[in-house]
Homo-oligomer: A and B are copies of this chain.
Amino acid sequence: MKIVVLRLSHRYVRDDRATSHLFLVARAFGADGVIYTGQRDRKIEATIQEITEAWGGIFDVKYRKNGAEVLKEWKRRGGDIIHLSMYGLSIQNVVEVIRMSPADKLIVVGGAKVPKYVYEEADWNVAVTSQPHSEISAVSIFLHELLEGRELSKSFKNAELVIVPQVRGKKIVRGSGRGCGL
């Protein structure tokens, strides 16, 4: 099952940090890549590529002009679309059904104003709590629930840097380049 996060309506500079964090969360929690729309931001693309080279694994960042087209293509290929929104159905009530579908998953998170077509095209509109918080936490919790915590022990292959968990302090070792289980 392939998992991709689609981030709509990125704004250059203003969303810099939020979007980078979102992409890093997608990577750390087991997504295969991200697609984003809005303003193209080559700096973020470069940052995520550098981090992926250093910390391992394969992670793809793609820019697309038209979000509606991304959704249509995803559907045409038989994938599931999950839109994370505080207005949707509670994650604890729907995640099991979503998990049972073996189709690829596109997880959509909006910008300031989400166009109506996203609610319409989504197979599931899912709320990670119906309280205001952050798309960053919403994506992490959704992936964590979808993958049932398996993402926490995901192996990132060909990492240059690998952390060895410590009771106190920091320990980073250079990766062997032969695949480093974390």
Identify the A interface with B (CB < 8 A): 17-18, 21-22, 24-25, 27-29, 51, 55, 86-92, 119-120, 122, 125, 127-134, 136-137, 139-141, 144, 149, 151-154, 156, 162-163, 165-172, 182
Contact = CB atoms under 8 A, between A and B. Distances in A.
A152 B24 contact: no
10 contacts: A18-B21, A25-B133, A28-B133, A29-B133, A87-B166, A87-B171, A90-B152, A90-B165, A92-B149, A137-B137
Given A87-B163, A149-B92, A171-B87, A133 B140 contact: yes
Nearest to A140: B137
User: How many copies of this chain does the complex contain?
Assistant: 2
A141 B87 CA distance: 21
A130 B163 contact: yes
A166 B88 CA distance: 5
Nearest to A151: B129
Given A21-B134, A55-B131, A163 B86 contact: yes
A182 B87 contact: no
Nearest to A159: B131
A148 to B, nearest CB: 11
Closest CB pairs A-B (n = 8): A137-B140, A21-B134, A130-B163, A28-B131, A87-B170, A28-B133, A24-B133, A136-B136
A152 to B, nearest CB: 5
Contacts of A171: 87
